[in-house]
Structure 1
Amino acid sequence: MSDFAVNTRRLRLRQWKDADRAPFAALNADPRVMEFFPSVRSRETSDTAVDGYMATIAAGGFSNWAVEVLETGTFIGFVGLSVPQRALPCMPCVEIGWRLAAEQWGQGYASEAARCALALGFDHYGLEEIVSFTALVNRRSRAVMERIGMVNANEDFEHPALPVGHHLRRHCLYRITPPGANPA
């Protein structure tokens, strides 16, 4: 499955390439993109993340897929599914997430790619629920969650990776189940 790729109307979600490493590191070093994270990320941290994503996808699992614009082949970030690495109140769970270059915002790419990732999660991987969470103040990501049909679970929590008093510590949780499913 190392050649994984799926297309939407305008985008391709695919396995990562070594050529994605530099633009991904630049995206992770951009304070606009990382506004709702504790800090920007180094090239080394970005490369380590890519290595993990590639290995999981190659093994046939889901992960954060590289996203490119079909028309140009331009890498613009990631959208994908993952199991959170930290113990969170919503565990066990599978999370949908996205991170796109700031220059790509406002074009509907995050919602388009996230809808595709949800469909893969439900139809291909047989997931019964997918969650997403972000800092309460992250209105842009919350808007994407709502556009793709996720519902605020009203289960706000303190993110354990952030210190008490940190302005990003309070997180909201959104959930979605497959179309036609009866949530408990």
Structure 2
Amino acid sequence: MESYECEICGKKTKFPTTAVKVEGAEFKACSECTKLGTVIEKRPPNQIGKAYGTPAPSRYAPQSGYGNAPKAKPKNYFAGLENELVEDYDAVIKKAREAKGLSQEDLALKIKEKASLIKKIERKEIHPEESVMKKLEKELNIKLTESLETGETFQKGSSNGATLGDIAFVKRK
């Protein structure tokens, strides 16, 4: 018997999941979680391509259009969540900059950014973007990210990886 998994709450069900749009993102949801968003209406298979007069794809023809081309891997939306900016990033940057004898303006010139950006980062008014973080780490020879404990973040035993329910609190109406 085939089993389905809700991408919102992570619950396994024997019934097929339904495509739902929640806050602009599409998920495959169980019957309970479909109430959290808008059900996306799918056209029946025999109606595919009829809007523009193109034929529906044959179930015997390759779907990619390039013979036996391999299927694309699904996108991992949680790939960038392994590392997190350290809490005292402002002090780390300032201390390393001063240890090298650089002013904020000098550092900005070296990494090709504006001095006002360095000032705001050191005052903790903004978090540096990933590209700026990498430049600062390289120029100042520091580490601004720390690894997250993956065992505590995501539920174990999920066959398809993390679901939205693993990382977010779902508020029921």
Q: TM-score, normalised by structure 2?
A: 0.23
Greater relative contact order: 1 or 2 (C-alpha under 8 angstroms, separation 6 or more)? Answer: 2
Q: Which has the larger radius of gyration?
A: 2
Give the helix-richer structure, 1 or 2. Answer: 2
